[in-house]
Amino acid sequence: MQTETLSIDTSNGKTTAHVVMPEGGIGRAVLVIQEWWGLNDHIKDIAGRFADEGFIAIAPDLLTGKLPPVPGTDTVEAQAATAAVRLLRSEDVQRQLAVIGQYGMSLPAAEKRYGVVGFCWGGSAAFASAVMSPAGQGAAVVYYGSSPATSSLASVKIPVLGLYGGADARVGATVPPADSAMKALGKRFEPHTFAGAGHGFLRQQEGQGGANLEAAQKAWPLTISFFRSTLGR
């Protein structure tokens, strides 16, 4: 497994990305979208897990140039990151993701299709990427991210997998309307809600009296299976 930090030209200037190549160096690219705490060790670890499964994992730092890192590290302070993420415009983020997706497909070892997976704020961004459905994107996976407005779902062209905690009432309230709308539109949306699990269950696996761990153990193979069926490999 090979890990490197790259600077990718996007519509918002240079975007730094943590890139992990799988053994053998060939696979489908998956964009791993941060929570609102920025590109931290948790997201980098998830990128490594995708590479272990044979995917080219690209985790862009969507706060590139907006905050200085904590001295002696390459990550930003969590509360400052949250405040900065709130100022990002969705349309700018989606343009960045589309360009980075094209970059991922352009790598010599990559296939010509990519996926997007996001967590919390990044989960919402992942579902929004399905609404945009840029050229080359083949699937989106949403981990505990809010669903888009139902009025926007008619433009979805790719399958979406949703993974939610049953105790995450705020996000959970957005899932049934999206599910109903996607069904009515004939779109593929596969929501899974894990009983007792809270928001951020993949990050906080020790929480909710074991429910978060159980949710994480079920959600990860669903994610890999979904991407393999929609992207190949």
For the whole prediction, is pTM greater than 0.85? Answer: yes
What's the pLDDT tens digit per position in 22-44? 988 778 999 999 999 999 999 99
Confidence (pLDDT) at 59: 98
Q: What number of helices (H) and strands (E) belong to the chain?
A: 7, 8
Where residue 115 sits, what CATH number does that domain have?
3.40.50.1820
Q: Which domain holds residue 32?
A: 2-231
Q: Among 39-43, 137-141, 148-152, 220-224, whose mean pLDDT is lowest?
A: 39-43
Is 143:57 a contact under the CB 8 Å cutoff?
no
Give 233's pLDDT tier (boundaries 50, 70, 90).
low
Number of folded domains that form the chain: 1
- At a CB cut-off of 8 Å and minimum separation 6, what does 32 contact? 43, 46, 47, 50, 57, 58, 59, 117, 118, 122
| Closest to 188 measured CA to CA, from 179, 198, 197, 196 | 179
